[in-house]
Amino acid sequence: MPVKFNHTIIPAKDGGESARFFRELLDLPEAPSWGPFTNILLDDGVLLQFAELPGVDEIQLRHYAFLLDDDLFDRAHARLRAAGVEHWADPGMTAPARPTPSTAAAASTFSTPRATPSS
């Protein structure tokens, strides 16, 4: 059997809010959630599980990369702008507010509400 990525737990100050942010940003449907997890199911079957971790006051920088077609990228980028979400063209957060081409696609780095910067 080939090795496939199944799921990851993403620390969040508010798991429901963080999951909702990504669902709305990326046009994803709601997924079944259980226990301490609010879940998002990606098209390839990978599960993102947002969880509030006890005893964690600060959430460290995380990097998540999603492949989007041009149309969805443009819609997601427009949503970031409309919501006033600060975002950058690079993971180093030095080129504000504009996507730039990367090796495979356009890239945008942004801070999620009450969570950590993502790209």
Contacts of 22 by beta carbon, 8 Å cutoff, 6+ apart: 28, 40, 48, 112
Is residue 12 assigned to a domain?
yes
Does residue 49 belong to any structural domain of this protein? Answer: yes
> Is the pLDDT confidence value at 116 over 80?
no
For residue 15, what is the domain's CATH number? Answer: 3.10.180.10
Q: Give per-residue burial for 13-28: e unless 16+ CB within 10 Å, then b.
A: bebeebbbbbbebbee
* Structural domain harbouring 36: 7-54+62-118
83 found inside a domain = yes
Scan for tokens 């970031």, then name that residue.
Answer: 80
pLDDT digits (tens, 9 = 90+) for 36-77: 999 999 999 999 999 988 777 777 777 788 888 888 888 888
| Residue 1 placed within a domain | no
The rounded mean pLDDT for the chain is 80
* Domain count for the chain: 1
What's residue 84's pLDDT? 84
Domain contains 2: no
pLDDT of residue 86: 80
